[in-house]
């Protein structure tokens, strides 16, 4: 991915101008609010006709991302998983981003199928519906039937979308690099690393082979559970841009009227779906990361059908251990252990106030640890914890942020199906089993082996490293490099103060001695020195008052 699209890709200039124009248009909406001319407001409306000036900032961010197209919609959806970076309110707003768009012409989609599969769809399938029944920004979906009689759906990537995405990713990478260079305060959020993570996520979503493998893995892990159903993926009829899946028949989770009319036990359906997710997270450490109501389906017999497996999350053993540490600390109302778990789990900025973090976590534990499981609002608790983490500039690993968002979405989706649903009650037995597994003799032995291996490597390397250091001391090549953070600003101000005091003293001597040239009995050089020293003193005083710390770049 190019990091300097403006210099290397002239074709990106038009897109950069379009992005900047949209950002300015939405960012200037507040300037239009006090103007009395109603006719001017029409120039500051969204594509849906909403007046931008009347929208909160979070809504405007969602609108501008929607207007900028597929790449930015996906960026907003990824950012919605990072409330630790952008805040809970903005993350909730971005979670509403939808990528529904008009379908591409049937002939264009037909060409994609021919290029990837080597044959036209009419030759591959017994029946093929050329008009899509659903369309998003990246792909659209068609009905078809195999020659063996199975009803399937075809998810086909829209032509030309990869080229547009690559151009936008190139621009985003350049903007991220510029922000780290010219906005040092953004470094703690690692914008370049964030864009690279987003690029990997989006490239996986563009390659339908990843979604097919996710479906196959989920199907394998739940093969013995008759209450859960994933659509079968047909590898022989799939490619990078075409995914052929079994057509599941049921009622989508977002069709509440049909669900209620079905007479099914929706509370049992919600519990079944939540138990499926707990098994994914606590048992498999591999989970479907987009539990929107539309991705869950009520099938005959109360079976939970799961759709759209493109976004999946994984927890490695270290992250799973740290998440368990965090939950265990909350359960035991151990504030210090909770603070340590948060700091180990995330990246803590150098200026973080550890005492204040402990104080806020203590309030958090007091609010939630005393509640009964049936009363616990998991979404509210996670949002509160995320707000504390963000306030203290603790950046969580992407996998943990995605897990927290998944749990919040899961509780919201389940409560839409059944208002009596309690995610806390569902989590409790899985958490107990996870703790038992953690302290199982086999797991403890594995940790002991790893600890022994680490100490063994240390003792093997230590004599060699000490010998190398002593050899450098004997030969005079031993060097110690000290990095004094912020010392340059201190030195600048100290030097400025010395210069100002010296000039003031010298000017006083020139004035008292009436050193020529003299005008009206006043030494010109003495007076000029007074003026300069007073100006320098004023600048120094202003810099100190303005910054209140040594971080100011004023001299």
User: How far is CA 375 from each of CA 271, 367, 414, 423, 424, rounded to the nearest angstrom?
Assistant: 16, 12, 15, 10, 8
- For residue 57, name the pLDDT band (cuts at 50, 70, 90): confident
pLDDT at 229 over 90: yes
Nearest-5° angle of CA 260, CA 263, CA 267? 70
pLDDT at 259 over 80: yes
- For residue 384, name the pLDDT band (cuts at 50, 70, 90): confident
Residues 131-154, mean pLDDT to the nearest whole number: 93
Nearest-5° angle of CA 22, CA 27, CA 31? 125
Residue 252: which H helix or E strand, with range?
strand 251-252
Predicted structure pTM score: 0.69
Per residue in 9-47, pLDDT tens? Answer: 455 667 777 777 776 666 644 444 444 434 444 445 555
Residues 126-143, mean pLDDT to the nearest whole number: 92
Residues 336-340, mean pLDDT to the nearest whole number: 80
**What does the alpha-carbon distance between residue 388 and residue 113 come to, in Å, rounded to a whole number?**
49
**What pLDDT does 538 receive?**
79
**What pLDDT does 53 receive?**
56
**What pLDDT does 310 receive?**
86
**What does the alpha-carbon distance between residue 170 and residue 1 come to, in Å, rounded to a whole number?**
6
> Do residues 541 and 533 make contact, with C-beta atoms less than 8 angstroms apart?
no
**What does the alpha-carbon distance between residue 373 and residue 432 come to, in Å, rounded to a whole number?**
13
| Contact partners, residue 136, CB within 8 Å, separation at least 6 | 99, 100, 101
Task: Name which residue leads in pLDDT, 478 or 257.
Answer: 257
Residues 488-507, mean pLDDT to the nearest whole number: 72
- For residue 520, name the pLDDT band (cuts at 50, 70, 90): confident
Per residue in 302-322, pLDDT tens? Answer: 999 999 898 888 888 778 777
pLDDT at 6 over 60: no
Q: Which two structure tokens, joined as six digits, stand for 202?
A: 């989006």
Residue 127: which H helix or E strand, with range?
strand 127-128
Which range scores top for mean pLDDT: 107-111, 365-369, 448-452, 494-498?
107-111
Task: Name which residue leads in pLDDT, 156 or 518.
Answer: 156
**What pLDDT does 486 receive?**
54
Q: What is the mean pLDDT of the chain?
A: 79
Residues 332-339, mean pLDDT to the nearest whole number: 76
**What pLDDT does 461 receive?**
79
**What pLDDT does 30 receive?**
46
What whole-number percentage of the chain has pLDDT above 90? 21
Task: Name which residue leads in pLDDT, 208 or 489.
Answer: 208
**What does the alpha-carbon distance between residue 431 and residue 438 come to, in Å, rounded to a whole number?**
10
**What pLDDT does 489 receive?**
62
pLDDT at 408 over 70: yes
Which range scores top for mean pLDDT: 47-61, 138-152, 270-284?
138-152
pLDDT at 555 over 50: no
Instruction: Look at residues 288, 380, 283, 282 and name the one whose alpha carbon lies nearest to residue 323.
Output: 282
**What does the alpha-carbon distance between residue 13 and residue 9 come to, in Å, rounded to a whole number?**
8
> Do residues 143 and 164 make contact, with C-beta atoms less than 8 angstroms apart?
no
**What does the alpha-carbon distance between residue 71 and residue 93 come to, in Å, rounded to a whole number?**
17
- For residue 334, name the pLDDT band (cuts at 50, 70, 90): confident
């Amino acid at each position: 991915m190019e990091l300097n699209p403006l210099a290397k890709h002239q074709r990106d200039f038009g897109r950069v101008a379009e992005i900047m124009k949209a950002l300015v248009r939405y960012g200037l909406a507040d300037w239009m609010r006090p103007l009395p001319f109603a006719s001017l407001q029409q120039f500051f409306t969204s594509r849906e006709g909403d007046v931008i000036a009347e929208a909160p900032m979070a809504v405007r961010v969602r609108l501008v991302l929607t207007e900028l197209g597929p790449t930015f919609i996906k960026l907003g959806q990824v950012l919605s998983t990072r409330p630790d970076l952008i805040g809970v309110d903005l993350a909730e707003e971005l979670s509403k981003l939808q990528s529904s768009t008009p379908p591409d012409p049937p002939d264009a989609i037909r060409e994609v199928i021919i290029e990837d599969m080597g044959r036209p769809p009419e030759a591959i399938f017994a029946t093929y519906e050329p008009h899509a029944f659903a369309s998003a920004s990246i792909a659209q979906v068609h009905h078809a039937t195999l020659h063996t009689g199975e009803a399937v759906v075809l998810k086909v990537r829209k032509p030309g979308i990869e080229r547009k995405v690559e151009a936008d990713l190139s621009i985003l990478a350049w903007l991220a690099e510029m922000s780290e260079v010219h906005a040092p305060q953004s470094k703690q959020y690692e914008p370049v690393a964030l864009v690279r993570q987003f690029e990997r996520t989006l490239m996986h979503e563009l390659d339908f082979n990843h979604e097919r493998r996710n479906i196959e893995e989920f199907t394998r892990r739940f093969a013995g559970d008759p209450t859960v159903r994933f659509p079968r993926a047909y590898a022989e009829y799939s490619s990078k841009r075409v995914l052929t899946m079994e057509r599941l028949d049921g009622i989508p989770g977002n069709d509440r009227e049909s669900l209620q009319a079905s007479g099914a036990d929706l509370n049992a359906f919600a519990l079944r779906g939540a138990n499926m997710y707990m098994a994914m997270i606590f048992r498999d450490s591999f989970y479907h990361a987009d539990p929107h109501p539309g991705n869950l389906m009520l099938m005959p017999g109360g079976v939970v059908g799961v759709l759209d497996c493109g976004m999946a999350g994984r927890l490695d053993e270290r992250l799973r251990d740290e998440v368990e540490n965090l939950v265990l600390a909350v359960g035991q109302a151990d504030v210090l252990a909770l603070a340590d778990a948060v700091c180990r789990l995330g990246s803590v900025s150098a200026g973080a106030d550890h005492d204040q973090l402990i104080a806020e976590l203590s309030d958090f534990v007091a609010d939630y640890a005393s509640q009964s499981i049936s009363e616990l609002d998991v979404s509210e608790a996670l949002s509160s914890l995320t707000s504390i983490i963000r306030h203290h500039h603790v950046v969580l690993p992407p996998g943990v942020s995605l897990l927290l968002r998944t749990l919040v979405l899961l509780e919201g989706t389940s409560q839409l199906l059944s208002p009596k649903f309690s995610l806390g009650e569902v989590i409790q037995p899985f958490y107990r089993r996870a703790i038992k597994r953690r302290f199982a003799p086999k797991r403890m032995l594995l940790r002991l082996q790893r600890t022994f291996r680490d100490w063994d490597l240390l003792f093997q390397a230590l004599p060699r490293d000490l010998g190398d250091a002593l050899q450098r001391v004997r030969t005079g090549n031993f060097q110690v490099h000290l990095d004094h953070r912020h010392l340059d600003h201190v030195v600048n101000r100290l030097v400025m103060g010395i210069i100002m005091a010296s000039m003031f003293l010298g000017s006083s001597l020139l004035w008292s001695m009436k050193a020529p040239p003299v005008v009206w009995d006043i030494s010109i050089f003495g007076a000029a020195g007074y003026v300069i020293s007073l100006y320098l003193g004023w600048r120094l005083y202003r810099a100190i008052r303005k910054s209140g710390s040594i971080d100011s770049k004023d001299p």
